[in-house]
Amino acid sequence: MPTKKVWLLAGDGLALAIITLVGFASHGELQASFAGRMLTTFLPLLAGWFLIAPWLGLFDLKVAAAPTQLWRPVLAMLLAAPLTAFLRAAMLNSVVLPLFVVILEGSAAVGMLVWRGVWLLLFGRK
């Protein structure tokens, strides 16, 4: 696997972890005692992203390196957030909260757009 792709995939995972941490911090819940709860958000978010992103070509280095394709991570997160919320609700034996989906879509889409923009600057076409 090329180094660029390793950075892309690892960065996606790290970006999703940071998005999760920022979300919990915004609720004042960024303590070790919330680690289990954070996993019930992070793991479904990771699953949602890695299930949806390939369908939009987001792991293709030619797509990832094209500035005109930066809309794709945003669309992927708009599609992954409802799946994430469903998986999270199943893990928690709860219901999907529409407001959670909307906030997750927006914040995670911005987070992934920022990360993919950084990757593009570091590893994109020169």
Calpha distance 62→64 (Å, rounded): 6
Q: What is the pLDDT of residue 126?
A: 58
Residue 18 tokens, joined: 């940071």
pLDDT at residue number 15: 97
Quote the pLDDT of residue 38.
84
pLDDT at 112: 97
pLDDT reported for residue 74: 97
**Rounded alpha-carbon distances, angstroms, from residue 33 to 20, 37, 55, 82, 91:** 15, 8, 36, 26, 18
Question: Which pTM does this prediction carry?
Answer: 0.89
Burial (CB < 10 A; 0-12, 13-18, 19+), residue 89, is middle
Q: Which domain holds residue 80?
A: 3-123
Dihedral of CA atoms 10, 11, 14, 18 in degrees, nearest 10, equals -170
**In the chain, how many domains are there?**
1
pLDDT by residue for the chain (126 residues), tens only, comes to 568 999 999 999 999 999 999 988 887 776 776 677 889 999 999 999 999 999 999 999 999 999 999 999 999 999 999 999 999 999 999 999 999 999 999 999 999 999 999 999 999 875
What pLDDT shows up at residue 30?
A: 67
- What gap in Å lies between CA 102 and CA 97, rounded to an integer? 9
Q: Residues 27, 51: contact at Cβ < 8 Å? A: no
